[in-house]
Amino acid sequence: VNPEETIQLPSAINKSQTLEELICTIYPRLQEHTTMSTSYLTERTFLSASNNDISFINTQALEMMPGEEIVYFAAYQLSKKDSYDRTITNRYPTEFINFLNPPGLPPFKLMLKVGCPIMLL
């Protein structure tokens, strides 16, 4: 290991054994039924090189929040009324299109809870 390529982390950084423990460390009041202020949320974040990792963390954090999940679905299928170009609707089954989760677009299945923070871009 090249010492010039090694980053020394401060000893004060917490080390978590489980994802649930890490989520509770970053968001200690997550399991309470309270409204989180903007400053509370902007002072905490998860960073990852992968959108899939963040999606998994968000799903776990949502499960830890109190309340019932509300599920919203995007359009179930591509519009077939477009007579100009049907190559996409003819080539890919609806189930496959709904399975995709491209960056920059909302997921096909969006799960939320009352009081759950969301970010609109």
Q: What percent of the chain has pLDDT over 70?
A: 84
Q: Over the chain, what is the mean pLDDT? A: 81
pLDDT of residue 52: 87
- Could you tell me the residue range of the domain that residue 84 belongs to? 15-112
- Residue 35 domain-assigned (yes or no): yes
pLDDT of residue 103: 79
- Residue-wise pLDDT for 43-62, tens only, equals 888 888 888 899 999 999 99
- Give the mean model confidence (pLDDT) for residues 6-10: 78
- Residue-wise pLDDT for 62-102, tens only, equals 999 999 999 998 876 656 665 656 565 567 777 887 788 88
Phi and psi of 117, rounded to 5°? Answer: -70, 140
Look at residue 5 and give its three-state secondary structure: helix
pLDDT of residue 71: 94
- Residue 50 domain-assigned (yes or no): yes
- Residue 8 domain-assigned (yes or no): no
- Residue 3 domain-assigned (yes or no): no
Q: Is the model more confident about 14 or about 105?
A: 105
How many structural domains does the chain have?
1
| pTM > 0.95 | no
Least confident stretch, 11-20, 74-83, 102-111: 74-83
The Cα–Cα gap between 34 and 117 comes to 11
CB 94 within 8 A of CB 77: yes
DSSP for 22-80, written as a single string? HHHHHSTTTTSS-PPPHHHHHT-----S-HHHHHHHHHHHHHHSSS--EEEE--SS--S
- Residue 79 domain-assigned (yes or no): yes
Closest CA to 111 of 72, 85, 84, 81: 72
- Residue 107 domain-assigned (yes or no): yes
For residue 8, give Cα distances in angstroms to 3, 48, 115.
9, 19, 37
